[in-house]
Structure 1
Amino acid sequence: MNYRISTEPDARLRIDKWLWAARFFKTRSLAADAVGKGRVRIGGEPVKPSKDVRVGDLVEIEIERIVWQVRVLGMCDVRGPASIAQTLYEETEASRTKRQQEYERRKTFHEPAADMHGRPTKRDRRVIDRFSRGD
């Protein structure tokens, strides 16, 4: 298949379509939903799914509480393989280090409720109530 990537400075594409083509989201509707919820910003401003993104724009994408900061390098209106999708953007160095730190934090994080199985017992309920009341 022919994947035409436009790197012209005046090239533009809808943000939801670009996010889908760059493989940040599996479907275009998921991309549009994330944009609609304010999890995607262009130049620091929240946008609508119909907003055009241009080559050179700085896009912030929040996926599962991890923020990607990428500079748009190209436009492609079809979804291709990952090797093609990675040529559409370049992640900033600050974003890359913050993402790596978050991944490391998540590896070592212990979920407090992981030890609990099923409904709390009567004793567990008393402990929970004592903490929630602040006794």
Structure 2
Amino acid sequence: MTVPVWVEESVVIAIHRRQLAEHGGIDGIRDKGLLESALFRPKNKFNYDNPNIFDLAAAYGYGIVKNHPFVDGNKRTSYVVMRTFLKLNGYDIQASEMEKYETWMYLASSQINEVQLADWIERKSVKI
């Protein structure tokens, strides 16, 4: 696998702010270290595992949801960052709004894990 295009921290913060502007919520980073950790998760996976692009996308989604680095809007931000990563690397998600909502609620409540999220992302992704 070639080195993917990563989502930079400044882009993640901009995504977070846009989600709050569009859907409401309290702005702010709760813990910058947790944000950095979440964003390093896919890079670490790339360097030490043998992931595919969907595993890396799931690492973004899982890392942000589970680390909860923002005061509000973590699930929304997590989904958009994951999708942005996929788009930067030639894929997009095709799923209903309900499927996306349910999947992220299951992720946040630990009803699915990172591997299951990667499987869902792979099943719902299309090459663009």
Larger strand share, 1 or 2:
1
Q: Normalising to structure 1: TM-score of the pair? A: 0.28
Q: Normalising to structure 2: TM-score of the pair? A: 0.29
Larger helix share, 1 or 2:
2
Structure with the larger RCO, 1 or 2 (CA within 8 Å, 6+ apart): 2
